[in-house]
Amino acid sequence: MQTTAEIAEVRRHVRTARAQGARIGCVPTMGALHAGHLSLVERCRSESDYVCVTIFVNPTQFAPHEDLAKYPRPMEDDLRKCRAAGVDLVFIPDVPSLYPDGYQTWVSVEEVTQPLEGAMRPEHFRGVTTVVTKLFNIVQPDVACFGAKDYQQQATIRRMVRDLDLPVEIVVCPTVREPDGLALSSRNVYLSPEERQSALSLSASLQLAADRLATGATDLRGLEQEMIDLMHAQPGVQVQYTVLADPDSLETLTQLQPRMVGLIAAMVGKTRLIDNREFNLPQPTASPSPR
């Protein structure tokens, strides 16, 4: 496994691999790698011949009051996990090499970034789409893997790749969870044992929604309220949003449709967590045509 902080060296390694016929895969991360990230690496290995993991805690996607400074950076551990997972190249740029003095160029995606995370974190997606574009320009992957865990992020990146004709295939991988339902997140390390218990109410409320929808619920606002009530019944949980939305536009739905997604953001103590789940309603079976 090669490890480098240098853009030119990434280009050189990738050029060599491509010259040997390799299909190039990329998994962008902010490090503090867990089994969710490693599921992306595994998928990427099955989709490509040469996997580059990028580890960069991107300052432009954090607001000043957010956890940039204390974001976990267990670099030795991350490199060990990458090596064990069969990664070919780890790119660990520093901030000045991606954002040199005088930096002033941004990539913004419009409608899909406006609600939910975009409303709570106004600069966030501009930072994400800019850094992902830069990483794509540096690594030039044929395929890149993202997690459904960050649902609006993957929807935004799919939109960006389509709108800008970026020559990369985006693969979205399912959310990896603890056995009790908690979605894996680098931020889970901030949770006390009591907060971790309360945090289970996020996935539990998505399960509640799945159950209600499967048994014929139609009142979406009523269902969102039930989900909120379930979470607020736990100590330390403060819901920021809970919506049933369209999986592509992320617009809040006013009525049932065959494909929907439930999206949640909540503070659990001082830690901000997000979770989501897709719902596919059974299609009515076609009635036999009259004779």
Residues in contact with ligand AMP by the rule CB under 6 A: 29-30, 36-37, 39-40, 146-147, 149-150, 173, 175-176, 183-186
* Residue 275: CB minimum distance to ligand AMP, A: 9
40 vs 89, beta carbon nearer ligand AMP: 40
156 vs 185, beta carbon nearer ligand AMP: 185
Do 140 and 14 touch, CB atoms closer than 8 A?
yes
SS (H, E, C) the chain: CEEECCHHHHHHHHHHHHHCCCCEEEEEECCCCCHHHHHHHHHHHHHCCEEEEEECCCHHHCCCCCCCCCCCCCHHHHHHHHHHCCCCEEECCCHHHHCCCCCCCCCCCCHHHCCCHHHHCCCHHHHHHHHHHHHHHHHCCCEEEEECCCHHHHHHHHHHHHHCCCCCEEEEECCCECCCCCECCHHHHHCCHHHHHHHHHHHHHHHHHHHHHHCCCCCHHHHHHHHHHHHHCCCCEEEEEEEEECCCCCCECCCCCCEEEEEEEEEECCEEEEEEEEEECCCCCCCCCCC
Residue with tokens 């895969």: 25
User: Is 13 one of the annotated active-site residues of the chain?
Assistant: no
Q: Helices 75-84 and 35-47: crossing angle, nearest 10°? A: 40
* Residue 183: CB minimum distance to ligand AMP, A: 5
DSSP bridge partners of 170: 144
Catalytic residue among 34, 37, 65, 232: 37
Question: Taking Cα atoms as reference points, which of 148, 101, 155, 102 lies closest to residue 128?
Answer: 155
d(CA 188, CA 272): 9
The amino acid present at 10, given as its one-letter code, is: V
206 vs 223, beta carbon nearer ligand AMP: 206
* Residue 65: CB minimum distance to ligand AMP, A: 19
61 vs 224, beta carbon nearer ligand AMP: 61
72 vs 212, beta carbon nearer ligand AMP: 72
* Residue 38: CB minimum distance to ligand AMP, A: 9
* Residue 162: CB minimum distance to ligand AMP, A: 18
158 vs 232, beta carbon nearer ligand AMP: 158
* Residue 40: CB minimum distance to ligand AMP, A: 5
Q: Would you name the residues annotated as active-site residues?
A: 37
